[in-house]
């Protein structure tokens, strides 16, 4: 059988993801004893900082009986200009799976094209599928299902927003985005999602959040956009998720944030530390969901 990659949520079918969530729930409950990565090595090729993605994949690989190898792009010959396609073919001779975090999504596609082992997208400028996979699992855990749920996205139309659009496309829940003009998500991804789910975009956070079951945000300047931080802080005025905004959501609404968070910018302290917040369960779920992903792709 040919290898399977996970570069975008849409690389898996809805049924495959539901099976993966069942496995993740079994793992989280401590009922799973398998060691599908026994004798296998997972390489983590990172060109950007990471706490959750790196640690959850390393720990996950070890818990599944395998070994993880962290490779900073800076230290590899890749950082000195060795082509990604050569790196892909060389690593494929040593390891049984690769997680990559980098800037251009095209680099991840090139790596996957040339690698003969499964490649997992650990975040690009375009998508962050592992995070949104864990987020949808978190929604299922809290509400029992995502059926009939309304998810609001407040802030930047970034890699997370794009991945949420693909999640809506797959699962069919309603997704309302509130983004300032000029900071909308990828148009093509938006149009694709629109064919399958109720997705909408507004400039008014209140409009997106009213009655929503899940309120979601992320930093205003992503990794690699440090120089735009000041201009973005101005453009995003009024997009802070605060108590007043949360009061418009459904009575049992939850707040999600992929972290790291900037308190006082995209979210107020009282929200991220308040009763709505599920951010640490969400972070924990990265581990369980990615273990299920590793077992599925590398097992």
Distance CA 154, CA 218 (A): 8
Is 128 known to be catalytic?
yes
Question: Among the candidate windows 68-76, 112-120, 154-162, 248-256, which touches ligand NVA by CB under 6 A?
Answer: 154-162
Which residue among the candidates 218, 232, 257, 288 is catalytic per the annotation? 218
Phi, psi of 209 (to 5 degrees): -85, -25
Q: What Rg do the C-alpha atoms of the chain give, in angstroms?
A: 19
Q: Which residues pair with 99 in a beta bridge?
A: 44, 120
- Tell me, by CB under 6 A, how many residues bind ligand NVA: 10
222 binds ligand NVA (CB under 6 A): yes
State both tokens at 246: 């949360």
Is 131 known to be catalytic?
yes
CB of 222 to ligand NVA, least distance (A): 3
Question: Among the candidate windows 19-27, 66-74, 190-198, 216-224, which touches ligand NVA by CB under 6 A?
Answer: 216-224
219 binds ligand NVA (CB under 6 A): yes
Indicate the residue whose CB is closest to ligand CP: 53
Distance CA 155, CA 225 (A): 15
158 binds ligand NVA (CB under 6 A): yes
Which residue among the candidates 96, 131, 166, 282 is catalytic per the annotation? 131
Is 74 known to be catalytic?
no
Q: How far apart are the first and last CA of the chain?
A: 13
209, 167 contact by CB (below 8 A) = no
| Structure-token match 């909408």, residue found | 200
With a CB cutoff of 8 Å and minimum separation 6, the contacts of 92 are 98, 114, 115, 116, 117
Name the helix (H) or strand (E) containing 254: strand 254-257
219 binds, among ligand CP, ligand NVA, none (CB under 5 to 8 A by kind): ligand NVA
Q: Mask 91-110, x = binds ligand NVA (CB under 6 A)?
A: --------------------
Residue with Cβ nearer ligand CP (161 or 197): 161
Binding site residues, ligand NVA, CB under 6 A: 123, 128, 158-160, 218-219, 222-223, 258
């Amino acid at each position: 059988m040919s290898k399977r990659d996970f570069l975008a949520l849409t690389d898996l079918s809805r049924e495959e993801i539901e099976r993966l969530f069942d496995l993740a729930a079994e793992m989280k409950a401590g009922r799973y004893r398998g060691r599908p990565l026994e004798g296998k090595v997972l390489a983590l090729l990172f060109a950007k900082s990471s706490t959750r993605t790196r640690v959850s994949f390393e720990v996950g690989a070890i818990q599944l009986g395998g070994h993880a190898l962290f490779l900073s792009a800076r230290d590899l010959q890749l950082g000195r200009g060795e082509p990604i396609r050569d790196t892909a073919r060389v690593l494929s001779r040593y390891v049984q799976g690769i997680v990559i975090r980098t800037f251009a999504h095209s680099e991840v596609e090139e790596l996957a094209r040339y690698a003969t082992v499964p490649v997992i997208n650990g975040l690009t400028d375009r998508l962050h599928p592992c995070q949104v996979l864990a987020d949808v699992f978190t929604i299922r855990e809290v509400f029992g299902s995502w059926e009939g749920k309304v998810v609001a996205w407040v802030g930047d139309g970034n890699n997370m927003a794009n991945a949420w659009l693909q999640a809506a496309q797959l699962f069919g829940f309603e997704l309302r985005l509130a983004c300032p003009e000029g900071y909308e998500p990828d148009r093509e991804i938006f149009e694709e999602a629109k064919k399958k789910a109720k997705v909408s975009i507004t400039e008014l956070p209140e409009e997106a959040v009213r009655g929503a079951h899940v309120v979601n945000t992320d930093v205003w300047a992503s990794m690699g956009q440090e120089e735009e931080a000041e201009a973005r802080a101005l453009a995003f005025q009024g997009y802070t998720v605060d108590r007043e905004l949360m009061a418009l959501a459904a009575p049992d609404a939850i707040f999600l944030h992929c972290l790291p968070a900037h308190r006082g910018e995209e979210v107020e302290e009282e929200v991220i530390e308040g009763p709505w917040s599920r951010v640490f369960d969400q972070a924990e779920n990265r581990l369980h969901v990615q273990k299920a992903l590793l077992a599925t792709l590398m097992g």
